[in-house]
């Protein structure tokens, strides 16, 4: 689109006599190609959701993250920006701030709500109080009656330079906001453990969310609003995925396909 706009502008300048020749004539337009988003099957989603260890604090957090990504279709940047005040678990909705600061309201679903409640309860027991919903734990957060390094997950706990451990709970200094990179790494780790032969990223959950909704008859406009797409044509790419799926099912099961 940008290249077309530049070419049209130069043609206008040429027509008006401002330019003597069209310098964009040597530029080649990119070839059009269709890239269908990769998504997980329901069975693959379940395999991913079952990977976090429910006996570890980080596993409880990771399960809440995965449930939320699949339940809402939100972008990873939106997820790590979530504040506790953005959630209303009583009503089952959350407020999400997307691209351009545009806000939207998304339903949570029962499974995601339960996972978040469990995670919040665990964080509360650790004594960690932050505005951010999802946090990364420091080594000092081990020092509670309930949690040990093995329960928290040694691989992520980060020592703080100059920190002197003291028992009796944590505070905001013992944790930090979770980053997009940490979520990417976490999902890659679980994807390897499932041995699913797909390139799985946080955005794969977004693709799966949209595809599964449309496969079950959800209205395209509703899916557009849930995803926060400004243009419905962006959402329409998922209809190509579902049509391909329908064709595949038809070819497999129809006696005269």
Catalytic residue, candidates 70, 119, 190, 238: 238
pLDDT of residue 169: 43
Cα R_g (the chain), whole angstroms: 23
69 part of a folded domain = yes
- Residue 22's pLDDT band, with cuts at 50, 70 and 90, is confident
Is 110 part of a structural domain of the chain?
yes
Q: pLDDT per residue over 49-95, tens digit each?
A: 999 999 999 999 999 999 999 999 999 999 999 999 999 999 999 99
Has residue 40 been placed in a domain?
no
pLDDT at position 138 is: 61
Please indicate, yes or no, whether residues 56 and 159 belong to a single structural domain of this protein: yes
Interval 149-159: pLDDT, tens: 444 444 444 44
Catalytic residue among 10, 206, 207, 212: 206
Taking only the tens place, the pLDDT of each residue in 236-247 is 999 888 888 888
Of residues 104, 111, 229, 245, which has the active-site annotation? 229
Is 22 within the bounds of a domain? no
Q: State the DSSP H helix or E strand holding residue 210, giving kind and residue range, or none if neither.
A: helix 202-215
Contacting residues for 105 by C-beta, under 8 A, at least 6 apart:
93, 94, 95, 96
DSSP output for 130-176: -SBSSEEEBGGGG-SSS--HHHH-TTT-BPPTT----SS---GGGEE
229 as an active site residue: the answer is yes
Query: By C-alpha distance, which of 149, 113, 151 is closest to 133?
Result: 113
Whether 162 and 109 map to the same domain: the answer is yes
Number of domains into which the chain is organized? 2
Query: Residues 95, 134: one domain?
Result: yes
Q: Please give the Cα distance from 91 to 55 (Å, whole number).
A: 28
- Domain-embedded: residue 16: no
CATH number of the domain bearing residue 166: 1.10.443.10
CB-side neighbour CA atoms (13 Å) of 40: 27
In this structure, the answer to whether residues 226 and 154 fall within a common structural domain is: no
Question: Can 75 be counted among the known catalytic residues?
Answer: yes
Asked, for residue 242, whether it belongs to a domain, the answer is: yes
In a domain, 9, yes or no: no
For position 31, what pLDDT does the model report? 55
Q: Is 99 a catalytic residue?
A: yes
Query: Pick the catalytic residue: 75, 102, 110, 240?
Result: 75
Q: What is the pLDDT of residue 174?
A: 58
Q: What is the pTM of this model?
A: 0.74
Which of the two residues, 120 and 14, has the higher pLDDT score?
120
Q: Which of 15, 99, 240, 247 is catalytic?
A: 99
Q: Which domain range does residue 154 map to?
A: 52-194
Q: Is 206 a catalytic residue?
A: yes
């Amino acid at each position: 689109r940008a290249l077309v706009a530049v070419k049209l502008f130069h043609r206008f300048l040429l027509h008006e006599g401002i330019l003597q020749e069209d310098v964009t004539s040597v530029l080649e337009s990119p070839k059009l190609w269709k890239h269908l988003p990769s998504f997980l099957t329901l069975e693959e989603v379940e395999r991913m959701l079952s990977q976090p260890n429910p006996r570890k604090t980080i596993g409880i957090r990771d399960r809440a993250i995965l449930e939320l990504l699949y339940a809402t279709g939100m972008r990873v940047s939106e997820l790590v920006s979530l504040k506790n005040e953005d959630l209303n678990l009583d009503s089952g909705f959350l407020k999400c701030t997307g691209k351009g600061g545009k806000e939207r309201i998304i339903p949570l679903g029962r499974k995601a709500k339960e996972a978040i409640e469990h995670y919040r309860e665990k964080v509360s027991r650790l004594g960690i109080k932050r505005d951010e919903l999802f946090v990364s734990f420091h080594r000092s957060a081990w020092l509670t009656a309930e949690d040990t390094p093995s329960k928290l997950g040694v691989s992520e706990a980060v020592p703080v330079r100059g920190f002197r451990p003291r028992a009796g709970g944590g505070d905001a200094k013992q944790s930090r906001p979770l980053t997009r990179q940490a979520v990417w790494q976490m999902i890659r780790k679980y994807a390897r453990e499932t041995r699913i032969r797909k390139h799985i990223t946080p955005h794969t959950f977004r693709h799966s969310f949209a595809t599964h909704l449309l496969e079950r008859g959800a209205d395209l406009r509703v899916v557009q609003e849930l995803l926060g797409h400004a243009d419905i044509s962006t959402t329409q790419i998922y209809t190509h995925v579902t049509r391909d799926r329908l064709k595949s099912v038809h070819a497999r099961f129809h006696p005269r396909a």
